[in-house]
Amino acid sequence: MRLVLVGPPGAGKGTQAEFIAAHLAVPKISTGDIFRSNVSQGTPLGIEAKRYMDAGELVPDEVTINMVRDRLAEPDASEGFLLDGFPRTTPQAAALDKLLADLGTALDVVLELVVDDDEVIRRLSGRRTCRGCGKIWHVEFDATTREGICDRCGGELFQRDDDKPETIATRLREYAEKTAPLVDYYGAQGKLVGIDATGPVEDVTVRAIDALRSYGG
């Protein structure tokens, strides 16, 4: 199966991607992993991407797409894959369609994790990170024994700027403007299936796998 996972920040894409890819026995491919791999190996694309990143600029779509092309051409992706974090925009989606057509294949399904903005803010704004060991806790879902103190190492907990409500609201606006149109794009192709991404992680995974069964998953 060849699928793309989409959803707003805080929808649990990273967690669900791991479980779903393991269930389908396909590689989980994230743009973050691809970037890190290319940069650490010093590939020509990695060197080019690092130049933009070091300058604080966005890596152009062309570079990102070429990295994805190289990754999808690797043997472990020949029978299927799960893309997490790509495409993020409709131009990237169109480029992915062309890339896959060049490889003689196409996406089977796009799975959307559906969660409302209030739930996203609740999930992300409650996160606290340990300055000592880096473990992430949550004031509601995974609280420490002592407020503000890490149970693992005794370090001080703090709220990352990314997890502050005003930052989350900005990220959600960016998602609505740039990534949410993917829902219409793939819906028009008849490849979109949405599931409720609220509740326990295990329940969301079950819903996802059930939804994918009709697509051969």
122 given a catalytic annotation = no
Which of the residues 13, 28, 123, 128 is marked catalytic?
13
Average pLDDT, the chain: 94
Rounded Cα distance between 25 and 143, Å, is 33
pLDDT of residue 178: 87
Residues at the binding site for Zn(2+) are: 130, 133, 150, 153
Taking 80 as the threshold, does the pLDDT of residue 216 lie above it? no
Which of the residues 2, 28, 123, 127 is marked catalytic?
127
69 given a catalytic annotation = no
Taking 90 as the threshold, does the pLDDT of residue 6 lie above it? yes
Across residues 196-211, what is the average pLDDT? 95
Which of the residues 50, 122, 135, 171 is marked catalytic?
171
Strands 157-158 and 127-130: antiparallel
pLDDT of residue 108: 96
Residues at the binding site are: 10-15, 31, 36, 57-59, 85-88, 92, 127, 130, 133, 150, 153, 160, 171, 199
Which of the residues 88, 122, 178, 207 is marked catalytic?
88
Q: Residue 2: which of 61, 104, 77, 65 has the closest Cα?
A: 77
Beta bridge partners of 158: 129
Residues at the binding site for ATP are: 10-15, 127, 199
171 given a catalytic annotation = yes
Looking at per-residue confidence, does 32 or 138 come out higher?
138
What pTM value is reported for the model? 0.87
pLDDT of residue 85: 86
List Cβ neighbours of 126 (8 Å cut-off, separation of 6 or more).
138, 139, 140, 141
2 given a catalytic annotation = no
Q: What one-letter code names the amino acid at 127?
A: R
Taking 80 as the threshold, does the pLDDT of residue 27 lie above it? yes
* CATH architecture of the domain with residue range 2-26+79-213: 3-Layer(aba) Sandwich (3.40)
Question: In this structure, are residues 211 and 18 in contact, taking their beta carbons and an 8 Å threshold?
Answer: no
Rounded Cα distance between 79 and 27, Å, is 10
pLDDT of residue 217: 63
How confident is the model over 40-85, as pLDDT tens digits? 999 999 999 999 988 988 889 999 999 999 999 999 999 999 999 8
